[in-house]
Every structure is written in C-alpha cells, then in structure tokens.
C-alpha cells in the first residue's frame, strides 16, 4: 500500500474535500461521456476507484478517532 501512503497522512477535512472534488469531476466526466465518448474511458473507472479508496481511508480514520 505504499502507493497510496500519502493519502493516509491527510486529515479528515482534507479527505472530505478531496472526495467532493473527485465526485464533481466524475459527474462532469460522465456528462461529457454521455454527449461524446471520452478519449480515455478508463478515467471513469480510475476516478471511481479513487473515490472508494478515499472513502475507505476516511471511514477508517473516523473509526480510529472514536
């Protein structure tokens, strides 16, 4: 998990803001993909995985603080 170690160092507020930004980007990409195909449709999958990764780290941090 060294690849995503930098995400574990972020604060809860930073994680939440990154999730909001990633969801907005995903929404924008989905709309543009519906209108005309994306050059790289793997962006959608990678962004969904990043959101899931961030949510996992966020829930672990919240559980750890309780």
Q: What is the CATH number of the domain that holds 35?
A: 1.10.287
Average pLDDT, integer, range 1-30 = 92
Q: Which structural domain range is residue 50 located in?
A: 2-65
Q: According to the model, what pLDDT value does residue 66 have? A: 82
Q: What is the pLDDT of residues 49-64, one digit of tens each?
A: 999 999 999 999 999 9
What domain count does the chain have? 1
On average, the pLDDT of the chain sits at 93
CA distance 7 to 54: 8
CB-facing half-sphere around the CA of 59: CA atoms within 13 A: 5
């Amino acid at each position: 998990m060294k690849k995503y170690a930098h995400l574990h160092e972020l604060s809860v507020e930073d994680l939440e803001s990154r999730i909001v930004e990633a969801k907005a980007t995903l929404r924008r990409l989905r709309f543009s993909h519906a209108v005309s195909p994306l050059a790289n449709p793997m962006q959608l999958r990678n962004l969904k995985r990043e959101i899931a990764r961030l949510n996992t780290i966020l829930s672990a941090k919240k559980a750890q603080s309780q």
